Amino acid sequence: MLLAALLVFLLWPRIEEPLQELFYPVEYRTLIEGACEAQGLEPALLMALAFTESSFDPLAVSSVGARGLTQIMPETFDWLLLKTREKLFFDNLFEPEVSLRYGALLLRLLLDEFGAPETALAAYHAGRGRVNQWLRDPAVSPDGYRLEHIPTNDTRHYVNKVMRAYGKYEEILNS
């Protein structure tokens, strides 16, 4: 047991990076970097979002009907299409480039609206209306701008998971 611990200690610098990329794969890097450059986002954040949302499966469909790498809902996609004035169909979200481009746009809009990445991610998951409702509740947001406590377990877990992946992807992409 002591020998195994010593080996891990000595070999850790050589195995840490490959292990990290095993648990946090880097996929669609070029598309993610392009979408992020267009929206002024850090690629690690969009990569963490796509990894958390779909495990990088471009054909992912959620139980509530969200689609693609970034799991966008039909109503949200329609709202984003009004902003871009593009003529696309909901099925276009199965195309990695489209899903990442629109996921980056949505994330940019939410960051502009809410400021903090945690609050923007909560809105990505639970919806803007719900997050605005939470921000008006002093028990959840004493200052009305940041969520001190996310009141639902699923959204709290989601935000924590994306933020953890974001930290890992920052390490991986910047190494």
Establish how many alpha carbons lie within 13 A of residue 90's alpha carbon, considering only the half-sphere containing its beta carbon. 14
Active site (annotated) includes residue 53: yes
- Contact of 53 with 106, CB cutoff 8 Å: no
| CB proximity list for 61: less than 8 A, separation 6 or greater | 67
Measured distance CA(62)–CA(170) in Å, rounded: 27
Measured distance CA(50)–CA(70) in Å, rounded: 5
Catalytic residue among 53, 118, 148, 171: 53
Measure CA 94 to chain center.
17
Q: For the chain, where are the alpha helices, taking DSSP H only?
A: 2-23, 29-39, 43-54, 74-84, 96-114, 117-126, 128-135, 153-173
What is the crossing angle of helices 96-114 and 128-135, to 10°?
20
Q: Which residues are catalytic?
A: 53
